[in-house]
Structures are given as C-alpha cells and as structure tokens.
Amino acid sequence: MAVALARQLREGTKKSHTMAENTGFISCFLKGVVDKSSYRNLLADLYFVYSAMEDELEKLCEKSHPIISPIGFKELFRKEKLEQDLLFYFGTNWSELVRPSKPALAYEARIREIAISNPELLIGHHYSRYIGDLSGGQLLKNITKKAMNLQDDEGLSFYIFENIKDEKEFKTKYRNTLDSLPIDQKIADSIVEEANKSFKYNMDIFNELEGNLIAAIGKVLFRFFASKKRKGSTE
C-alpha cells in the first residue's frame, strides 16, 4: 500500500530545515554576506556530493531499481552545472584544484554506502538536496549575483534548471511520484530519517565554511581599521 511519503518528508524534516537555515554560513548568505573563496569552496564540496549521488542514481536506474528509477529525473542533475561554475571560479584547471572538505568526504561516503546497502535511502538525500535547490534556487541566485557583482548568469549555473519550465508543475509531479513509490511505512520512516541525516551532513559542510567566512570577514575588518588608523595618524 502506498504511503504519503511527500507529506512525511516535508513534515518530518521541518526542524532540520530550520536548523540548516540558522547556521552562521547560511544566515550570512541569506543576508547577502557572500565571500567568494568560501562560496567557491561550497560549490566544490557540492560537486563531490552531487557527483556521487548522480553516479549512483544512474547505476540504479540502469538496473531498473523499482524504488529509485521513478525519481531518476535527469532535469534535476547538477554535476554538469557545477562543473560550469567551477570553471568560472577556479579556471580551466579547476579539476586539479578542487578538493572536498572532510564533511563533504563523509557525505559522499554515506551516499556510496547506502547506494549499495539500502538504495531506497537515497530518496532522503534526493529530496533534501534537489527540491531544496529547485525551491530556493532563484532567491539564492539573485543573492549571489548581487553580492559578488556577477554579470548575466556567469558563475550561477548551479541555480539554473532550464529543462524545468514550470517549477510548480514539476514539484507536483515529484510529490506524486514519491507518493506512488512501492514502499511500506517502515521504509518511509527510514527515508525520512535519512533525509534528516542529509540535512546534518549539509550543516557540517556549512559549519566548516563558516570558519572560513569568519576568517575572511576578520581580514577585511582588520584591513579597514588598519587603514583608518593610518589615516588618523597622518591627520
């Protein structure tokens, strides 16, 4: 019997969602405080996470996995978009420069692990990442563009879903797909639990980046006050 997985995921991850939004890094981001170095490191971390997830999703879809195949929406995939952004921020040798942080490595390892042991749990990560990206994409795109004074959509490919013409319609299709998956309540509970773990992995990445952001802000403030002090001494 089908279960209302979409509603359970939405209700069951509300607290985690709020906690993620309240991390220092995301709070600063939403206020337009975006450090280029920290931001490009975020994209690098996400590249390794999405590469793992999309690699495993494609393997499972090729095998026609009964639970994973229905959600294998290629229009959501972000790996190629992230490659475009990493090229913009790091240059042509970006693949030699980017390295995952420890939290990103742990996140990637978790995705690889469950893809083998409990593939259905990938839905928790699929929901928390892709639907979050799609839902908040335009807002975050505009914040990033303004904060870093970007021209056109350069460096913003991650937020662009050109193959999804109607976001509302797609999310309705996505929810209906979740609710039609051949799972029972026990599996639904485990997927919701995994979705909350996904938020935790993301928060670990944000907290790592927060330290870099604070250091960057500190340097800017130091230079500012040092400059003010020098000017004051000459007056």
Q: Determine the average pLDDT of the residues in 181-201.
A: 97
**12: helix, strand or coil:** helix
Confirm if 213 and 35 have CB atoms less than 8 A apart. Answer: yes
Our count of domains for the chain comes to 1
| Model confidence at 122: pLDDT above 60 | yes
Q: Which two tokens stand for residue 62?
A: 């090729």
For the chain, percent of residues with pLDDT exceeding 70: 89
Residue at token pair 């089908």: 2
Confirm if 33 and 147 have CB atoms less than 8 A apart. Answer: yes
Confirm if 134 and 170 have CB atoms less than 8 A apart. Answer: yes
Residue 37, CA atoms < 13 Å, CB-side half-sphere = 10
Single out the residue of 109, 98, 89, 80 nearest to residue 44, CA to CA.
98
Q: Which two tokens stand for residue 131?
A: 């639907």
Q: Determine the average pLDDT of the residues in 80-92.
A: 97
Cα dihedral angle (142, 106, 199, 215), rounded to 10 degrees? Answer: -50
The set of residues, in sequence order, having a beta carbon less than 8 Å from that of 122 and lying 6+ positions away, is 53, 56, 57, 60, 68, 111, 114, 115
Query: In this predicted structure, what is the pLDDT of residue 218?
Result: 38
Provide the residue range defining the domain that includes 135: 5-234
| Model confidence at 230: pLDDT above 90 | no
CATH number of the domain encompassing residue 133: 1.20.910.10
Query: In this predicted structure, what is the pLDDT of residue 223?
Result: 41
Q: Which two tokens stand for residue 179?
A: 């609710």
The set of residues, in sequence order, having a beta carbon less than 8 Å from that of 66 and lying 6+ positions away, is 182
Under the banding of pLDDT at 50, 70 and 90, the label for residue 221 is very low
3-state SS string for 80-103: HHHHHHHHHHHCCCHHHHCCCCHH
**176: helix, strand or coil:** helix
Q: Which two tokens stand for residue 234?
A: 């000459």
| Alpha-carbon distances, residue 11 vs 19, 26, 58, 178 (angstroms) | 14, 21, 28, 14
Each residue's pLDDT tens digit, 57-83: 999 999 999 999 999 999 999 999 999
Each residue's pLDDT tens digit, 140-172: 899 999 989 998 899 999 999 999 999 999 999
